Amino acid sequence: MKEQTIKHLSIFCSLAGLAMLYLSLDFIQPKAASIDSLSISDIGKGVKVCGNITEKSVKNNHIFMKLTNGSGRISIVVFNQTAASIRDKGYNIYNITPYTSLCFLGNVAEYPKGSGALEIIVKRVE
């Protein structure tokens, strides 16, 4: 094969591989976690938590909720861009009412920093 053909084939394969990795991220499920099992060591990790919404407020189109289940209670944050993305996929998260049961997939964060208080920054809703 000519060197130019090999070069084009390499670039194509690289781009195809990157596209497949990007698309597969939507299918990778974070580990299901009970609220009481989450700790500071989980910060930055992807998790799935399920429960009932007990509080909800909206500020600057960001949604702040409390999620409660048999193992505890945790803050849930859905930033406005994520909420818009979820709405574009057919679920208007702004219409959630208290006592709705949902599962959230997102990353564990600490807020405020240094407080030890954990929250979930939502990426998807089930």
For residue 45, the tally of other CB atoms under 10 A from its CB is 13
| pTM score over 0.85 | no
**Left (φ > 0), alpha (ψ -120 to 50) or beta: where does 49 sit?**
beta
Q: Angle at CA 30, nearest 5°, toward 26 and 31?
A: 155
pLDDT at 3: 85
pLDDT in tens, 56-113: 999 999 999 999 998 999 999 999 999 999 888 888 889 988 889 999 999 999 999 8
CA distance 76 to 49: 10
Q: Mind listing the domains of the chain with CATH numbers?
A: 30-125 (2.40.50.140)
- pLDDT for 28 equals 65
pLDDT band at 8 (very low <50, low <70, confident <90, very high): confident
Contact 103, 109 (CB under 8 A): no
DSSP type of residue 45: -
What confidence tens digit (pLDDT) does each residue in 19-29 have? 787 766 656 66
